[in-house]
Structure 1
Amino acid sequence: MVSIYSLIYMLFIIKFTYSEQNSLQNVISRVTVFLTDDTKMLTNNLKKDDQKIIKDTMNSKVEGDLLNILEKKLPIYGRHLKKLDTKYNSKYNLLSQESQNFVIEIEGIIAQDMIGDKDKLDKFIKETLIPKYSKLTESSKTELKYFYNKSKGIQMAAAKSGSL
């Protein structure tokens, strides 16, 4: 069984190895950003061979959408990942501009600074996510609470700012 932290760590190694992310890396980064229950479903049943297929697909220089290629190699995983990405995009498009800016900023920080261990994630939540979240308007806080409804980070930020 692979932990979510291993998957995130793998993504960050790939991100720093290759300067430009492909669609598959973008999708995995987006749906794993706050360690929701949905993303745990992505990693709980991965076998070593599946991990290798994912890593090889992300590193592939093949033309075309790597998410589609992954779906052909691992149909259940690929379809689930596409479903999560569609769900993410649908919810994201309904957010206000302030909330969208928050999401983009936080995801950018995570992609640059996170290495994939629990201590760094907890530190990020306490020192970066909560202060930025606290500065938002109440309507944006509410939107984000529902956007990331299973997010440990948003739940902590909402509780700390009193909007839970």
Structure 2
Amino acid sequence: MAHTLRVAAGGGRQPSMLAALGLSPEDEAVYGLLVRRAQAGPDELAAALRMPTAAVEAALSHLLACGLVKSGSDGAFSVAPPAVALGALVSEQRNALRSAELALVMLAEEYRGAVAGRTIDELIEVVTGVGAVPPPVRPGAARRPYRGARLRHTALHRRAAGQ
């Protein structure tokens, strides 16, 4: 399948297939033509792609910086083997995505900790003074619920339920 600059209906450009590797549609069009021709100069590429020479030269400069093309002494450009050159870019992107995934996991854990801490703090009622604490239960004594504790318990459940 030939990869050329694609123009969508209405004149807008569609993203290139290699955009994930940092290539623009212009970069991809120039690269694709060089892959098919093996070697060409900027003027020849510009004429074949119907692009301004300055745009082709900018794309060639970017492709050169990415290691996808080589410049010859005669001013012509040739492509580095795509499996090697593009494979290296794909590996770099894969590593960058792994780093981003690790950062996502770490941030999600920090967020959970922050939310969990905030939620627990909202549900805990701090009591002060001897009167706020129920009397201890004596061994063998009948257990009677402490009215104050029951009221606080009910209030906490209502608060948690948003009532």
TM-score (norm 1): 0.26
TM-score (norm 2): 0.26
Larger Rg: 2
Higher strand share: 2
Structure possessing the higher relative contact order (Cα contacts under 8 Å, 6 or more residues apart) = 1
Higher helix share: 1
